[in-house]
Amino acid sequence: MTIKNVTIAGAGTLGSQIAYQSALKGMRVTVWNRHVESAETRLHALKDAYHRDLKLSEADFNAGLTNIVAVTTDLREAVEDADLVIEAVPEAMEVKEAFYEELKAVVPDKAIVASNSSTFMPSQLVKFFGDPRRFLHIHFANEIWKYNVAEIVGNPDTKPELVEEVIDFAKAIGMVPIHLYKEQPGYVLNSLLIPFLNAAMALWVNGIASPHEIDKDWMISTGSPSGPFIILDTVGLRTAYQISLNKYQATGDEMAMQVADKLKEMIDAGHYGREAGQGFYHYPDAEFLAPDFLK
């Protein structure tokens, strides 16, 4: 495998996770973000989760951090040595377009460019970057150290050998690669998950039942450890809001707009999920952790 130097563009929820997981597994990582301080805060904040779920010691966590060689706001500096650039900027088309217009002017010819987009397809974004031969998508699930799947798909003109390189990279950082043979909005995971979450949010918005009652019904009836609103808190309500807004803008679906409006109210109140300490539940001692939650 030739990928050693990895640049993560965007240090939000998933960008910071991809950066740290890559560093922990020995990649030389550079992080590009609009604000250095917020990126560094998110990276350091992963320590408790890695200790909780993987029993990673503080010393080992800090050793991983040493492989993050720079956090910068200068995109040219961030990508100058990159073998792979993973774009994880906000899930809005205008934001991604602006990023790729900036990236294509500074990225070296050797670099593979991959998007972590949840909802857009490679053929929708490659037109902004301009070189389809080295452009593809690698999509991670939230909490990648635990839910370690990487969905990988090229556009029709991606070089097959570069897809294989990214599959090898995914394995090297502890992921299980899922290779999609052709584009699919939402990949495999979100093709299954988003309709499920949308159905749950429609029940909530229409006043059919509360989020906690909906979760209880699902968890008891199926034996699942998580209901849809527990999942939404993990994904993050800002991501869910953007997906609902994108759906409304693309299709005119009024229910998607109603869902987006309700999520926006919660986001504006600072209740945007697990990372904020509150979403549909309160954290760290969430109501669903109580022994009698399903009784």
pLDDT of residue 77: 98
Q: Which fold has domain 189-289?
A: N-(1-d-carboxylethyl)-l-norvaline Dehydrogenase; domain 2 (1.10.1040)
pLDDT of residue 118: 84
CATH of region 5-179, choose from 3.90.180.10, 3.20.20.80, 3.40.47.10, 3.40.50.720: 3.40.50.720
Q: What is the largest CA-CA distance in the chain?
A: 59
Mean pLDDT of each 10-residue bin along the chain, 295 residues long: 95 97 99 97 96 96 98 98 98 94 97 94 95 97 95 96 98 98 91 95 98 98 98 94 91 96 98 95 97 96
Domain boundaries, the chain: 5-179, 189-289
Give per-residue pLDDT as tens, 15-68: 999 999 999 999 999 999 999 999 999 999 999 999 999 999 999 999 999 999
Give per-residue pLDDT as tens, 34-44: 999 999 999 99
pLDDT of residue 186: 86
Chain mean position to CA 248: 21
CA distance 177 to 174: 9
Contacts of 290 (CB under 8 A, 6+ apart): none
- Residue 122, preceding bond cis, omega within 30 degrees? no
